[in-house]
Structures are given as structure tokens and as C-alpha cells.
Structure 1
Amino acid sequence: MSLSNGTEVDLGPLGRARITELLGQGGQGFVFEVRLANGEALALKWYRPECASVEQFNEMQRLVESGSPHERFLWPISMARVADQPSFGYVMRLRESRFLELSYLLSNTDREGRVLSVSFASTIAMCRQLSYSFLRLHARGMCYRDISFGNVFFEPEHGDVLICDNDNVGVDDGTSRVLGTPFFMAPEVVRDLTYQTLPSTDTDRHSLAVLLFYTLFLGHPFEGARTDAGLRDTSWLLTYFGTEPVFCMDPAREDNRPSGIVQQYWAIYPRFLQDLFVQAFVAGAHQPGLRITEGQWIKAMDRLRDGMVTCRGCGATGFWDVAEPERTCRSCATSLQPPYVLKIGRRTVAVSPLATLRTDHLASGVDDSVVMGQVRAHPQDASRWGIHNLSTRPWEATYGAGQVVRLEPDRTMEISDGMRISIDSTTVLATRWQGG
């Protein structure tokens, strides 16, 4: 039963609010905008009576009491009741209109049908934020149980994400009324026709890997030549996503190669990233304990960002990696080797117009990484490069000959071989790349 505009809703400790607008509806219920007495707007999910079970109420109450694991989750803030109504609901923050459903990334259009421009940097940021957010959720002993397109929203310009429909979340204790969304469910869940294999952190990790593969390669990891034929019915789903899944880029099998676009994107990225997906969808498809963890994905996204360069031949974005120094541009075959690299601990940043020094370089476990320095090309001499201090504190640089220079905020210093930059307690070593 839907509610009408103007209906008063009791939000417990938040006080009372009134419904102002119907935002949408689905199988479980309705989503309204409500406004508190102070004018603040929130989103109210109101369950249909047939979905408003005691078990559902108790689960939602536990989520409210536990609090959000991260601000990217549109988490239940308070339970909601309406006088003389048999159902209930909960309120959460409103999703800003700048966030799009993740499916728009595949169609490459926005809500108005205009071409969507999402940079590689934004795509990497999306993958990193998703990985970090689910890391925080799993660290609480919880699992999401239904990671899929429909529950993730992204902001195209910067790659910020929001995770919605958090009434799917539960304690990772082997009890669940949610199995997941087809195509995203782990193979062991799909193939268990007794419905005894329930979502867990392990199955979340499979679903997350599928989501990341879609985001980076614009296709499903198990779809290819094998899955193209036949009716997409229950038997088809059971076979290709449950009992006999074959990774489309499995190096040992070529019978399920995907569309050309997926293969083109696959070739763009370095081997280390490809290897992670091979593990996730070959060994990990059958052995949940071998799936890639959220921490591994975070490190991979940082390494990918560190190797992002601009091709000197055609200007296309490419990915160089210290383990594959001979990588060339996908568009014009020009070498992607950088003139210099910046070594920060175990990490190596390729010098290019896309290179940055960020807070995740200075400390491990950083979530929202902030750019502290930007590499800049000399406007008249392509062989010369500088580092611009975007932080609020001065840095100290020591040149190879021993000269010490202070780099003030908003100033640029030329990069040279052997130069050391001290940023807080971290040392950045600049070296000319010579193939080793």
C-alpha cells in the first residue's frame, strides 16, 4: 500500500517528517522523499505489507543500530512508522542526481542519451572506492549479498560511487533470505538447486570481481562464444554461470572468447591486472578461498594509476608497468616507457602529464586519496619535467650533487636524475628510466 503526499511519518529519534514526493517503486515497496521539520530531505523506503515481516523489521533495526561502515553506503538511519498502517520503512540519505546507475557506463550515455565521457582515472577511482567500501563492510563481519549493477551508482567526472539498497546487508553467519542477482551470483550459489548455499563474504568477492570486470572491460567475465548460442533460460544460466563457467580470457582456453570491445580493453591493461582477473575467474570460480580480496584490488588500482601515461606519439592514455617496461601504445605502437620514474617505497610512478603524488603514496590504508603533487611537462622543452607542489606545506628537495632546495606550495621544481624529495616523513626518489 502506497502512501500519499503529506502523510506524517514517525522517524523515532529523528522526529516526524512528511512525505513530499514519490521517487520510485519496486518489488519490495516504494521510495519517497520526506522532509523533517527543519526542512532536511531524506529518502524513505516503505515496504509493501507482504514484505513487511517481523524478520525484515528486526534486520533493518540491527542495521540502524550498527551504523554505516562507510559514508558511500546509503545506510538506514532510522526506522519509520505511519499511524494506522500495518507496514513500516526506514530512511536514508537522498542520492544526489549527479550519480548515475552503473549500467549507464556500459551504454556510454547519460540519462538524456548524451554521450558519456568517463576517463580512465575515474574508472580506476570507481574500482578503488568500491573495493575499499566493501572492505569496510566485510571488516564488520557483514556481507552485502546482492552486489550488482542495480545497487551501485557512480559520478562520471570523478568516479565517486554510492552503494544503495542496503537492506540486502546481513551478518555473514550463513543465514540469508537474499541469494543475489543472476550474472553476479557466485557459481556455487547458482548451481545449488537446494538453495542451501547462501551469500557470504566469499560470494561477495566474486560479485565484486564481476562488477570490476564490467567496469574495466565492459563485459561479463563468463560471457563469450560459448554463451552466445541457445536460449537464455534457467538451464543456460545454470550451465554457463554455475556448473561450467569458463572465463572469457582464460589463457588456457580459447573457446569462450568475448566480444571485440572486451578484448580491446583487455589488451590495454598490464599483465598484473590480467593475472588477478584470471585468478578470480579461473581458480576462484571453483575455490572461493582463492578469490581476490578487497585489499588486493585496492593495491592493483593504485599500481594501475601509478602507471597511467600519455602516449608521446598520439596522446592516447596507456598503462606502463615496471614489470612490463616494453609496453607500447594500443593506438600507434609508440613505446610507453617514461623519461623518469618516481620511486616511493615499493611503488613506482611513471612520469607523464598524468602522474601525481597522492596521500596513498605517503601512507597505507588511505581511502579518499588526495593529490599533493602534479607532474608537469615543460611548455617549450619536451625533455624537461617538473613537479608542482599542490599541498599546503613546503617540501625539501636534494639534488644528486647535494644541493638542497625548498619547494614552497604552488611552486614547480624541475625533476632530475637522483633527486630526492622529502614530503613529511616520506622520500620520493626521481630516477631516469633506463630499462631497469
Structure 2
Amino acid sequence: MAELKIGSSVKIEYGDSAKIIKELGRGGQGIVYLVEYQGKKYALKWYFYDKLKEPNAFRQNLRNNIEDKSPSDNFLWPQYLTEGNQHGSFGYLMNVIPSNYVGLTDILNTYKIEKIAGTKEIRKVPVKFESLESVVNAAINIIIAFRELHRAGKSYQDLNDGGFYIDIKTGDILVCDCDNIAPDGENFGIGGMPGYMAPEIVRGIAKPDVQTDKYSLAVVLFKLLFRHDPLEGAKVLKSVCLHEGADLKHYGKEPVFIYDPNNKSNRPVIGVHDNAIKLWKVYPNYIKDAFIRSFTTGIQNPNHRIIENEWQKLFVRLRSNIIPCECGRVRFSNAYSYKDNIYICPACSSKFLSMQFGDVIIPMFAGQKLYKCFTAKGNYDFNTITATIVENKKHKGVMGIKNNTNETWKCTLPTGEVKELEPGKARALGRGMTIDFGKGVIAKL
């Protein structure tokens, strides 16, 4: 394949030509250029033709995806296909990644490389999420994107950290490298990246599909939270060089989760795997239990892998368990003492009343939000805010709940007296109170 020259043009299928402005980057499949097409800037992915296993089928799949349109705004979906048989290859146009988004690879590395303007020099720029909430929001948004993709009957097939760009302030995400996405059950030669591939792919007994996507999604989420490979511990460390045979052993035939409760042979090593050791202590047990399940029974049986709706429920719960204390501590609720429905800050002894929905316990503080998945029976809406916790303007520390829905809720006081909580209204919260949100959804304080 001849590389495209800056200033040259490529013809777009059923349209005008796109002008090449500059190179943005390159990888194993091809080169990405910044181009101008019909007065707008796009990114053009231009393929190394000889690297494509089935170029005609691959190109047709791209065309099909363009016609089907993106399942979610979170995907940098193919927009236009170039005409074939020009400059020895073909490519497609997609939107340009906004400047406020950072690659997940850079986030995991804790820095990104930037060129110093006007020079040939480069520098390392520190990269990290601005808050715990932005980390959890990123996880939720990744989960939602793949839920929508799988609902559309397609699989991504090559999930890895290079496929995500994240706004580190908000946790908003973009999924790139969408050219490998295909209808579930179809594959055009892509297997995935080592460390992210499901064990059955590593062993060569399966091809990428929705079930293998679920395994890879668990790896992405684990790395996002724990900054470490879920299968890289003492056992893997003994393989000084991870050659193909070692990869097959540790990631295919004999994979062992670093925190497998029944197999301690692959525990993280102090001084080598410190991120995993430190961060494993940070997260609540229900999150750790989900990853234990993903990388033990989920490794052995694809049908036991966690589905997106369950991940969503866990991470929305996790987001609701972030407590910002007046003393400046921002931690998950498991870092606080808990007694008689009260969370107590170990640093300053501030107290936070909690609301309990079955086994889900949510701390109450000014600005806390309840979502429809909590207050409506059998609901999987993880975005609609149904209630907000507000502080009494006259009495500091006294919290109330504001009803953001069109339904009227019933609050039962410890005395047995029942008070209605109408839409748009707020009512003070207190220990011993219960709130009936309707249809059997009752929270206790």
C-alpha cells in the first residue's frame, strides 16, 4: 500500500473527494489521517491492504455498519467509505476525537506524550481522573455502550485499552476502532489483543463473539479500577519472557485470577504489582466479588460471565457509595465505619444517615442522587434521577429527600404516622423512617 501524500485527495464513495491534511497516527492495520471533506474535518483510517485477511468481506462489513448506523453516540462509528482501487487500498471516514478526551492507554500509563510546539522535542504530561466519580462514570458509560452494541446484534471482537478515549473530568467515553465490529457470529480474521482475549480464543477453540466480548469487557473494567492485568501475578512473573507458549499457558490453558480465593499461586507480588495490591483494598466487596466471579467461573464457562445490566447495577451502586466528607476525604462507603444505619468518618467522626433498598445501602448527604433503578420495581434505568438529597437551609446537617418524579411517595415516621411526599416536594429524613416508592419498593432509614 502506498502511503497517502499530504495535500493529495481520495475519492469518497457516492460523494466528493477528501483532502489529506496530516497524519494523526499509525498502527498494525493502517494509518489515520486528518482530512477535510465537504467543509468538515474527519479522521480517515487508511488500511494496509495486505494486512487484511478478507479485504472484500471486510469492506462490505464496513459498508453494512455505515448503513446500520451506530448503536450509540459513544462510538466513533464509520461515516463514509472511500472508493475502492485507489492508491492501492481503501479506508473510511469517522469523526475526530475531541481534544478533551484522553486515551485509556495513557490513563493506565498515568501520562501521555505531547510534542512541544515549535520544536522536535516531546514531553510527558501527567494524566489521571479528576475524581472517583469520573472513574465510575467512565465504567458505567463503557458498560452502556457495549450493552447497546450487543442489543444491536453485533460484537466488538477486539476490546482493549487502545479502543477507548475518556474525558477525565466527567467520565464520558468514546469507543474507537469500530471497523472490526461485526454481526455476532461473524469474524474477519481479528482475534484480539493478548491479555484481553477470552481464554477460549487464546486456545484457538473459539472465535470472537458476544460471549468473548463479555470477558474482554471485564478485563477493561478491572484495568480501569485496579490499573493491572487480572491474570498477571507471581505465577506469570516466573515466565521472564512472555513468549507465545507462556501466553497460551497463562492466558489460555491455565489462567488464574490474581485474587482467586481458591488458588493463591498467582497473587500479586509486593514491589512489582503494587497498584493491584493497594487498589484491591479500596473497593467494596460486591465489586471484588463480581471480578472474582468473572475471572474464576467466568473463565471456565462463558455462560457464567456477567451481563451488562448486572455490571451497570453494580457500578451505579458504587457511584452512590462515594461519600464526600466535610473534612476533605472522598472515599467509598466501605472506608467508613458503619453502625445502626449510620456511616462514620474515621478522620473527623462526621455522621451520614443511610437508606437501605434490600441489600443496597446508600449514604445520605447533600447532592446525593437516587436513580430510577433504585426507586422503581424491576427497572434498569441507570440515568434518570428520581430523587435528590438536600440539606435544610436553616438547620445544617439535617438532610431531606426531594421527589423528582410525577408519583406521590409515602413516608412512614417512627411513630407510625404516614406523610405523603408529592412531586417536587421535599421531606426531612430521620432514623427509623421508611419510604414507599410504590409497587413494593420500600427503603428504610
TM-score (norm 1): 0.83
Q: How many residues align?
A: 419
Query: How far 1:352 sits from its partner (Å)?
Result: 2.7
Match of 2:230 among 180, 205, 221: 221
The amino acid across from 1:169 in the alignment is: I
The amino acid across from 2:265 in the alignment is: D
Query: How far 1:161 sits from its partner (Å)?
Result: 1.0
Listed as ranges, the matches of 1:9-408 within 5 Å are: 9-13=10-14, 15-37=16-38, 39-51=39-51, 53-81=55-83, 84-111=86-113, 112-114=124-126, 116-173=128-185, 175-192=187-204, 196-229=205-238, 230-258=240-268, 259-310=273-324, 315-320=329-334, 332=346, 338-341=352-355, 343=357, 348-353=361-366, 355-361=368-374, 364-366=379-381, 369=383, 371=385, 373-377=387-391, 383-387=397-401, 400=413, 401-402=417-418, 408=424
Output the CA distance in 2 between the equivalents of 1:105 and 1:329.
Answer: 32
Query: How far 1:275 sits from its partner (Å)?
Result: 1.5
Secondary structure of the 2:381 match is: coil
Secondary structure of the 2:111 match is: coil
Q: Do the aligned partners of residues 370 and 383 (structure 1) sit closer, same or farther apart at CA in structure 2, a change above 3 Å counting? A: same
Query: How far 1:286 sits from its partner (Å)?
Result: 1.4
Moved more, 379-388 or 217-226: 379-388
Secondary structure of the 2:355 match is: strand
Moved more, 357-366 or 260-269: 357-366
Q: For each residue in 1:346-398, what CA deviation from the matched residue of structure 2 results, as whole angstroms up to 9, or x when unmatched?
A: 8653213462134554663436x255654345688664223467x69898786
Moved more, 283-292 or 255-264: 255-264
What percentage of aligned pairs have identical amino acids? 27
| Partners of 2:375 and 2:386 within 8 A in 1 | no
Query: How far 1:24 sits from its partner (Å)?
Result: 1.6
Output the CA distance in 1 between the equivalents of 2:353 and 2:304.
Answer: 38
| Partners of 1:329 and 1:335 within 8 A in 2 | no
Output the CA distance in 1 between the equivalents of 2:421 and 2:209.
Answer: 54
Output the CA distance in 2 between the equivalents of 1:301 and 1:416.
Answer: 27
Secondary structure of the 1:248 match is: coil
Query: How far 1:414 sits from its partner (Å)?
Result: 3.5
Q: Do the aligned partners of residues 388 and 105 (structure 1) sit closer, same or farther apart at CA in structure 2, a change above 3 Å counting? A: farther
Query: How far 1:29 sits from its partner (Å)?
Result: 1.7
Output the CA distance in 1 between the equivalents of 2:17 and 2:372.
Answer: 42
User: RMSD of aligned C-alpha atoms?
Assistant: 3.5
Q: For each residue in 1:176-217, what CA deviation from the matched residue of structure 2 results, as whole angstroms up to 9, or x when unmatched?
A: 40010001111111123xxx5211111111111011000111
Structure 1 residues without counterparts, runs of 5 or longer: none
Q: Do the aligned partners of residues 326 and 402 (structure 1) sit closer, same or farther apart at CA in structure 2, a change above 3 Å counting? A: closer
Q: Do the aligned partners of residues 361 and 93 (structure 1) sit closer, same or farther apart at CA in structure 2, a change above 3 Å counting? A: farther
Q: Do the aligned partners of residues 271 and 28 (structure 1) sit closer, same or farther apart at CA in structure 2, a change above 3 Å counting? A: same
| Partners of 1:314 and 1:332 within 8 A in 2 | no
Query: How far 1:334 sits from its partner (Å)?
Result: 8.4
Q: Do the aligned partners of residues 331 and 181 (structure 1) sit closer, same or farther apart at CA in structure 2, a change above 3 Å counting? A: farther
Q: Which residue of 1 aligns with 2:116?
A: none
The amino acid across from 1:87 in the alignment is: S
| Partners of 2:107 and 2:127 within 8 A in 1 | no
| Partners of 1:309 and 1:320 within 8 A in 2 | no
Q: Do the aligned partners of residues 376 and 266 (structure 1) sit closer, same or farther apart at CA in structure 2, a change above 3 Å counting? A: farther
Query: How far 1:95 sits from its partner (Å)?
Result: 1.0
Q: Which residue of 1 aligns with 2:4?
A: 3
Q: Do the aligned partners of residues 326 and 203 (structure 1) sit closer, same or farther apart at CA in structure 2, a change above 3 Å counting? A: farther
| Partners of 2:4 and 2:87 within 8 A in 1 | no
Query: How far 1:155 sits from its partner (Å)?
Result: 0.9
Secondary structure of the 1:3 match is: coil
Output the CA distance in 2 between the equivalents of 1:24 and 1:104.
Answer: 15
Q: Do the aligned partners of residues 419 and 331 (structure 1) sit closer, same or farther apart at CA in structure 2, a change above 3 Å counting? A: closer
The amino acid across from 2:102 in the alignment is: L
Query: How far 1:50 sits from its partner (Å)?
Result: 2.2
Output the CA distance in 1 between the equivalents of 2:303 and 2:443.
Answer: 39
Output the CA distance in 1 between the equivalents of 2:143 and 2:423.
Answer: 35
| Partners of 2:223 and 2:229 within 8 A in 1 | yes
Q: Do the aligned partners of residues 12 and 135 (structure 1) sit closer, same or farther apart at CA in structure 2, a change above 3 Å counting? A: same
The amino acid across from 2:126 in the alignment is: R
